[in-house]
Amino acid sequence: MPLSISLIVNGEQKDIALEDPRATLLDVLRDRIGLTGTKKGCDRGQCGACTVLIDGRRINSCLSLAASQDGAEITTIEGLAAGDDLHPVQAAFIETDGFQCGYCTPGQIMSALGLIREGIADDDPERIREAMSGNICRCAAYQGITEAVIKANA
Ligand code: FES
């Protein structure tokens, strides 16, 4: 018998029947809810491509069981822009060229937003790199990413 859970995703309630109680939040977001902006990179907690906010805090959604998030408020990259108006963190990534291929970018942006909301971000590039170290960019666009965090936090 499926396990029923409710998630609040980008402000909308989603009632989901989980056939497999071991389904990760990442797979539920992508395959059941259709929010494919959250990316699957390593699927083992090492790259940060799957970063979302749960109740305002950064997590790797590939490491979280969807069943354990029953009732949680989840924000994905799709929940940031208001129509055609980008969120300030998204705009900062564009202004600083904080990406190249773009695959890691949703996770980078969600991690940057979490960092800013947690009050951890400041204007020190070294501290930002440390705080963002869970988000890997294989194109090595780190300078632009760090500048984006500083700009968005200003
Ligand atoms: Fe989750 Fe890499 S896909 S950390």
Contact 42, 138 (CB under 8 A): no
Could you give the CA distance from residue 121 to residue 130 in angstroms, rounded to a whole number? 10
Query: What pLDDT, on the 0 to 100 scale, is given for residue 100?
Result: 96
* C-alpha of residue 10 to centroid of ligand 1, in Å: 20
Residue 7: beta bridge partners? 14
Summarised one tens digit per residue, pLDDT across range 37-62 is 999 999 999 999 999 999 999 999 99
Report the amino acid identity of residue 79: G
> What are the counts of helices (DSSP H) followed by strands (DSSP E) for the chain?
5, 5
The domain ranges of the chain are 3-78, 88-153
Which CATH fold topology does 3-78 show?
A: Ubiquitin-like (UB roll) (3.10.20)
Ligand 1 and 106: CB distance under 6 A: no
Complex ipTM over 0.90? yes
CB contact at 8 A, 89 and 80: yes
The CATH number of 88-153, from 3.40.50.720, 1.10.150.120, 3.40.50.300, 1.10.10.10, is 1.10.150.120
